[in-house]
Homo-oligomer: A and B are copies of this chain.
């Protein structure tokens, strides 16, 4: 990469770079750089709409988003959340012409977009790049499937414990954090009702496992929470 002329773009700062740029020729690299566009979204805005045609390969540079789809009776189902450098438009991107899921911003977010045909053709020409992307995709899909299987066999208390630990460990890396989602969205993520999400959060507070104040969460007894997650 030292050989590349990177003055024209800020991709050298991008943590996603190893994926694309370690294995590309100077020409491939600069093609990518020139075609990329960055876009800002405010918290709450829709980034991808289910059913839209796939024109770009998107990845998240900054922020936090949710992947979801419309279920029966217009109930949303949340599939997963994504942090920077998780792909955003990963699922179905190489197997379909339209997005099967929607993506929206939970925090203000920055998304980088590459023309999908360019990425496809780069993959075809450059197996190294294809492999990098394949590994990442494979990882993410696996993680989602794993999550579904884990959640399915838990009772509601276990699911709530799981979500709290998920945000704490995977997203915010801290025992204190602000929930980036509403109670309803938690329910949509783990397949239960809003009322029960609230009820169980209150239970946990009464049992001094967590502290709650609005969206702000503080995990007081991580050990017990993990036990509930594993056995509940």
Instruction: Give the B-binding residues of A (Cβ under 8 A).
Output: 69, 71-72, 75, 77, 79, 91-96, 100, 120, 122-131, 133-139, 141-142, 144-146, 148-149, 152-153, 191
Contact = CB atoms under 8 A, between A and B. Distances in A.
Contacts of A77: 149, 152-153
A135 B69 contact: no
Contact of A95 (B100, B135, B191): B135
17 contacts: A71-B153, A77-B149, A91-B141, A91-B145, A94-B131, A94-B134, A95-B138, A100-B146, A122-B127, A123-B127, A124-B127, A127-B129, A127-B130, A130-B130, A137-B141, A145-B145, A148-B148
A1 to B, nearest CB: 18
Given A123-B127, A134-B123, A95 B142 contact: yes
* 4 tightest Cβ-Cβ pairs between the two chains A and B: A130-B130, A141-B141, A95-B138, A95-B139
B123 A69 contact: no
Nearest to A128: B124
A78 to B, nearest CB: 10
Given A126-B127, A127-B129, A141-B145, A191 B91 contact: no
How often does this chain occur in the complex, in copies? Answer: 2
A136 B58 CA distance: 20
B142 A69 contact: no
Contacts of A148: 145, 148, 152
Nearest to A152: B191
Contact of A92 (B100, B120, B138): B138
A19 B141 CA distance: 21
Contact of A133 (B100, B134, B141): B134
A223 B98 CA distance: 29
Contacts of A123: 127, 130-131, 134
Of residues A71, A94, A136, A139, which shows the largest number of chain B Cβ atoms within 10 Å of its Cβ? A94
A20 to B, nearest CB: 13
A93 B128 CA distance: 16
